[in-house]
Amino acid sequence: QKLDDKIKVGFSQAMTTDDWRKQMNSSMKIEASLRPEVDLTIKDANNNIEKQIEDIEGFISKKVDVIIVSPIQSKPLTAVVEKSIKAGISVLVVDRKIEGESYTAYLGADNIEIGRIAARYIISHSKGSGKIIEITGANGSSPAYERSLGFEQIINENKHFRVDNIIHGNWEGESVKEPLKTILLQNPDIEYIFAHNDRMALSAWETAKTVGLEKKIKFIGVDGLNSVNGGIELVKSGVLDGTILYPTGGNEALKLALKMYNKEAIAKNNILNTIVIDKNNAEIIENQMDKVDQQQTVIESQQGAIKVQEREYASQNNLVRLLSFF
């Protein structure tokens, strides 16, 4: 199949510095490699909004068939997504949202529900002061807004619990350290810290350790990656009390993009499942995820072997042609 005949899918990824996004890219690539008719291009915006707008503009001028985008922030990416739609290119928004309704479909876990689940978990497991610190993701990105919304809604319904302090983080661990240390030194009677992802939850635990509070405070994160320092490992080692699974949906995104290309009827809002991971189920979930990872490794090595065979076949064919020439 020539490149021109292929279905061109352009994925504008917000950044790839963290394992969550690395896993999202690799599961999307695996799904694409199972479909020889697909040509997938991933552009990494390096957490730079101007770069992400340029990346999407590039997909529009290349006339890709479908655009997948995980927008760094909602508002500044809205116009360029609208422009793609106006140019006749379907857009699947994943993980983080844009503003308004001008996109073809959205795919991701329900972040308001993730906030609520974290709050309910704290309420049902609390044995202490009920004082909570919330550490949010970056301002302007929809999961940060929605996780807060759901979390505070449930906490505020319950008189015994209070969000004592909110730290406005930026999704990365560094953003947590200084503000948290200041708060903990003034206010050691905190029972729970809810961070909007596991990277910031780990950083919160490390910071609490520097002031000797890491055993007293309980930590809840979001993501639940099965990787080194991922949420599952942090739950198993007792750093986190729990984490709320936030699936990357990389493979589902590619499948949906193809349905969009084929003009199949799909929902506007496609919700990925979530679950609380704590010490009761971390091991089982880890085993399940290990199995999926192993299957992916097998698929990748089989594809590698097929490529080698294809190359050998092609060069043998050339040889046959060359010989028949004489």
**Cβ neighbours of residue 260 closer than 8 Å, sequence gap 6 or more:** 66, 90, 92, 104, 105, 266
Q: Is 96 in the site for ligand FRU (CB under 6 A)?
A: yes
Task: State the Cα–Cα distance between residues 269 and 112, nearest whole angstrom.
Answer: 14
Residues whose CB is less than 8 angstroms from the CB of residue 213 and which lie 6 or more positions away in sequence, other chains included? 184, 188, 190
In 3D space, the residue among 235, 226, 181 whose CA is nearest the CA of residue 203 turns out to be 181
95 lines the binding site for ligand FRU (CB under 6 A): yes
Q: Does 8 bind ligand FRU (CB under 6 A)?
A: no
223 scored as a contact of ligand FRU (CB under 6 A): yes
Please answer whether residues 210 and 183 qualify as being in contact, where contact means their C-beta atoms are separated by less than 8 angstroms. Answer: no
Pick one of 20, 59, 106, 145: the residue that binds ligand FRU (CB under 6 A).
20
> What is the rounded CA–CA span in Å between residue 36 and residue 310?
13
By CB under 6 A, tell whether 233 contacts ligand FRU. Answer: no
- The residue from 21, 116, 131, 218 that contacts ligand FRU (CB under 6 A) is 21
- What part of residues 46-85 is at the interface with ligand FRU (CB under 6 A)? none
Q: Which residue is closest to ligand FRU by CB?
A: 197
- Counting Cα atoms < 13 Å in the Cβ hemisphere of 86 gives 7
CB 144 to ligand FRU: min, Å = 7
Residue closer to ligand FRU, measured from CB, 95 or 191:
95
Site for ligand FRU in 117-176 (CB under 6 A): 137, 141, 143, 171
Please enumerate in sequence order all residues whose Cβ is within 8 A of that of 171, keeping only pairs 6 or more positions apart, or say none: 18, 137, 138, 141, 144, 196, 197, 199, 200
User: Which of 14-22, 117-125, 176-184, 305-313 is the region at the interface with ligand FRU (rule: CB under 6 A)?
Assistant: 14-22
Selection from 182, 232, 203, 74 nearest residue 135 by Cα:
203
Q: Which of 12, 90, 197, 203 binds ligand FRU (CB under 6 A)?
A: 197
Query: Using CB under 6 A as the criterion, which residues of the chain lie in contact with ligand FRU when the complex forms?
Result: 18, 20-21, 95-96, 137, 141, 143, 171, 197, 222-223, 246
